[in-house]
Amino acid sequence: MAVHILENNVLRLRVADRGAELSSVYDKELSAERLWGADPAVWNRHAPILFPFVGRVVGGKYRIGEREYEMKTQHGFARDLDFECVEETADSLSQLLCADEKTKALYPFDFRLLVRHRLDAENARLLHIEWEVRNAGEETMFYSIGGHPGFLPPAGVNKEDCLIGFPGRDRLRYFGASPAGFGLPDGEKTLSLRDSCAPYAADVPETWIFEGQRIDRVQILRPEGIPWVTLHCGEFPILAVWANSAGPFLCLEPWFGRCDDEGFTGELSEKPYVERLGPGEAKEIHYSIEFHA
């Protein structure tokens, strides 16, 4: 499996062709790795791309019209497939995944997914992630897509001692997911924030799902309130914060689309927040990550 290196004077990134996944962000000034190491005993991913589904579908199956398809894995299949490197420079990388007969057996649409990782030209601590989803077929295409980067806290700090910051907000609505991984919007609650922050270990579920609130930024902060990571995600209708209880990392996840609600029986076109593209149409999506010192 090919791995590509992007680098400036502060950060060195590794991006794999498998899943177009960012697999390492090494901070040269701090001599520290900033991404989770994908220990398979805990969570075997670093920063997977979720496509063409975010989360699970009820029963591992979904319908388009009268036809039923299987999607037994969570978060679709792009994270497990090899992308083609189509452009590479010292500070940017573009990788492409196209539909084939194997993907069409699971998901019938003729898609093209272009992923670009790009280091900012002015801010050496800023990384841009850009996606272009294109419908190369002749029918309306329905899809979801999301990011799932897992960040390590500062050296010597437990994730439970970190703060999650939502600059400019004093409260947000959230709901959790069922043990099976389905949405529970009827259990929506209010997360009250102090100085726009909440401790991760507050009385909330392991997964916080915030939808329909257009959160511009979310941060992981040191216990004293100093930013450690900032995710810029104003385009996205849904944001999730998740951590595996057995691991030391925190995930900040911008989503277009999400898991099925428990008991959902509708067609793919009726999924919550599902995206759609007409024949020949494309959508460009962008978010950024700033790794503070």
Read off the CATH number of the domain in which 284 is found.
Answer: 2.70.98.10
Residue 108 CA to residue 100 CA, distance in Å, equals 9
Smallest CA-to-CA distance from 238 within 267, 207, 262 is with 207
In the predicted structure, residue 179 carries a pLDDT above the cut 70: no
Q: Which token pair is 19?
A: 């899943």
At residue 179, what are phi and psi to the nearest 5 degrees? -55, -25
pLDDT in tens, 239-260: 999 988 889 999 999 999 999 9
Per DSSP bridges, beta strands 250-256 and 145-147 are: antiparallel
Residue 37 CA to residue 222 CA, distance in Å, equals 20
Domain count along the chain:
1
Distances (CA, A) of 170 to 192, 194, 195, 212: 6, 7, 7, 16
pLDDT in tens, 55-101: 999 999 999 999 999 999 899 999 999 999 999 999 999 999 999 99
Residue 214 CA to residue 190 CA, distance in Å, equals 16
In the predicted structure, residue 178 carries a pLDDT above the cut 80: no
- Domain coverage including residue 245: 3-291
For the chain, helix (H) and strand (E) counts, in that order, are 1, 25
pLDDT in tens, 207-236: 889 999 999 999 999 999 999 999 999 999
